[in-house]
Amino acid sequence: MGDFIEETPIKIEVNGRKFEIREPLGEEIDAIFEKMYKVKEDSRGKKNFEIVISERNKAYLKLVVSAPYEKDGKKFSELDSMQKLAMLNKLKPKLRGELLKKIDEAIMKGSDEEKKLSEQ
């Protein structure tokens, strides 16, 4: 992997369908976690930690650059980011869930490789 984010998309397969995602930049990962974890105060002033998975899911789906789908005769890679996101959000729940899981695994795998580099 090296010290820098690769330009080559990460290939993942979900139920026989091939997808490609781009590796997120550090600032994108920071933004994902910033939106995902929130501290809320209840009526008694007690602070509670809240996880908002929908924000993470939206950010993860924006990383998909290639998918085996078309819309109006255009390949997925030719669609604008909002059309891509809308299409992926229409996937059946099980397939969408598996895709999100694989994206998370691919991102965390990169993090594990980074950990190995920092331990050397």
Long-range pairs of 3-11 with CB within 8 A, sequence gap ≥ 24: 3/117, 9/65, 9/66, 10/106, 10/110
Report the predicted TM-score, pTM, of the whole model to 2 decimal places: 0.77
6-35 mean pLDDT: 87
Q: Looking up tokens 């299409």, which residue turns up? A: 87
Q: Is residue 114 assigned to a domain? A: no
Residue 104 reports pLDDT greater than 80: yes
Task: Give tens-digit pLDDT for 40-70.
Answer: 888 888 888 788 888 889 999 999 999 999 9
Residue 45 belongs to domain spanning: 26-55
* Residue 90 and residue 41 in one domain: no
Residue 114 reports pLDDT greater than 70: no
CA distances for 100 relative to 58, 73, 106, angstroms: 10, 26, 10
Q: Is residue 113 assigned to a domain? A: no
Q: Residue 115: its pLDDT value, please?
A: 53
Q: Is residue 103 assigned to a domain? A: no
Under a CB-based contact definition with an 8 Å cutoff, are residues 91 and 6 in contact?
Answer: no
Q: Residue 39: its pLDDT value, please?
A: 81
* Residue 7 and residue 30 in one domain: no
